[in-house]
Amino acid sequence: MTPVDLRSDTVTRPTDAMREAMRAADVGDDVYGEDPTVDALQRRLADDLGFEAGLFVPSGTQSNLLALLAHCERGDEYLVGMDAHTYKFEGGGAAVLGSIQPQPIVQADDGSLPLDRVAAAIKPIDPHFARTRLLALENTWHGRTLPLDYLRQASALARDRGLGIHLDGARLFNAAVACDVPAREIARHFDTVSVCLSKGLGAPVGSVLVGPHALIGKARRWRKVCGGGWRQAGMLAAACLHALDHHVDRLADDHARAARLAQRLADIDGPTVLGQHTNMVFVDVPVDRLRALDAHLRDAGIRISIGTLPTLRLVTHLDVDDAGIERTADAFARFFATR
């Protein structure tokens, strides 16, 4: 029985066509700037998103960290959502490695940072305070897309107050597909954008940071300092290029399957569907049944992330087809039919 893995869209495996693209990749030493496939990927995303330069890195965490290090100096701060990935789930790297202070702001339900709170958090020029240098947003956030009008307003505020503005766009293409706009239309509001290729787009490894030449130059140095310089990385870059060519439009299928799963689960007496956003479904399950549900789903060949909290996140991706959605919903129904 083929497993259905809904833990995250990071669990995707390279398709046969992607593996062939990796095998055929032209490679060189990227630390010397001599890997043609890495160069092609960096140029491709920079051009597509409207930036001067790009930098291929191993992970989204490193890409965001390099952006923060490039924008800020020791003793600076960045404004960020209280539940944003760069603040909550990336090991405190900006503070640990860059002496950059995060100033968390409670997010609205859609993941946006209320702009009145952003404005109030900007510090005056005074030796008592860290220097506010950067506003960091995330799109999508828990699958939610930030409204385009909000991005325009946030960008205007940042520029009016002399701040840089960075986007954690790990799932930028999910946001673009959901909003029915080119990804460039979202990215144009930012100075730097981090894009992950190993989530919904299905590459095995890699993110790209795009921005102006000067900032990407600083990020390249910090990549080396952080141990992120790599050699013949073209095989991985080839997988990312294949993903950009073949796996962007199909993200709409993941969104549709997530909507179908939410609809099926909503018809079951027991779980409570809290919402569905792009390729994510959020479900509440009674805490006392979590362990049993986990065991039941594993027996059915279905994997989801279950911890100690009642809210579950189910994530669709290119390795989950229509049959997998129906199998998952049926397994939930069987479990909650037993009391």
Given this model, what pLDDT does residue 307 score?
A: 83
Measured distance CA(310)–CA(297) in Å, rounded = 16
For 232-261, give the DSSP string: STHHHHHHHHHHHHHSSTTHHHHHHHHHHH
Residues 95, 40: contact at Cβ < 8 Å? no
Specify the 3-state DSSP secondary structure of 322: helix
Which helix or strand (DSSP H or E) is residue 133 part of?
strand 131-138
In the structure encoding, which two tokens stand for residue 213, read together?
């030449």
- In angstroms, how far is the first alpha carbon of the chain from the final one? 27
Residues 219, 204: contact at Cβ < 8 Å? no
Specify the 3-state DSSP secondary structure of 160: helix
Q: CA-CA distances (angstroms) from residue 52 to 30, 146, 256? A: 19, 24, 34
Sign, CA torsion 55/56/58/64: positive
Given this model, what pLDDT does residue 174 score?
A: 98
Specify the 3-state DSSP secondary structure of 203: coil
Measured distance CA(199)–CA(35) in Å, rounded = 24
User: Amino acid identity, residue 47?
Assistant: D
Give the pairing type, strands 164-169 and 131-138. parallel
Residues 6+ apart with CB under 8 A from 166: 64, 67, 68, 71, 78, 134, 135, 136, 137, 190, 191, 192, 193, 194
pLDDT tens digit sequence for 180-232: 999 999 999 999 999 999 999 999 999 999 999 999 999 999 999 999 999 99
Q: Give the CA radius of gyration of the chain.
A: 21
Measured distance CA(225)–CA(223) in Å, rounded = 5
Given this model, what pLDDT does residue 116 score?
A: 97
C-alpha angle 200-171-281 in degrees, rounded to nearest 5: 70
Residues 255, 278: contact at Cβ < 8 Å? yes
In the structure encoding, which two tokens stand for residue 271, read together?
């779980």
Nearest residue to 63 (alpha-carbon basis) of 208, 166, 202: 208
For 74-132, give the DSSP string: TTEEEEEETT-HHHHSSTTHHHHHH-PEEEEEPPPTTS---HHHHHHHSPPS-TTSPEE
Residues 223, 194: contact at Cβ < 8 Å? no
Measured distance CA(241)–CA(209) in Å, rounded = 15
Given this model, what pLDDT does residue 339 score?
A: 65
Q: Is 213 exposed, middle or buried (0-12, 13-18, 19+ CB in 10 A)?
A: exposed
Q: pLDDT 10s per residue in the chain (339 long)?
A: 789 999 999 999 999 999 999 999 999 999 999 999 999 999 999 999 999 999 999 999 999 999 999 999 999 999 999 999 999 999 999 999 999 999 999 999 999 999 999 999 999 999 999 999 999 999 999 999 999 999 999 999 999 999 999 999 999 999 999 999 999 999 999 999 999 999 999 999 999 999 999 999 999 999 999 999 999 999 999 999 999 999 999 999 999 999 999 999 999 999 999 999 999 999 999 999 999 999 999 999 999 999 888 999 999 999 999 999 999 999 999 999 986
Cα of 135 vs its chain's centroid, Å: 17
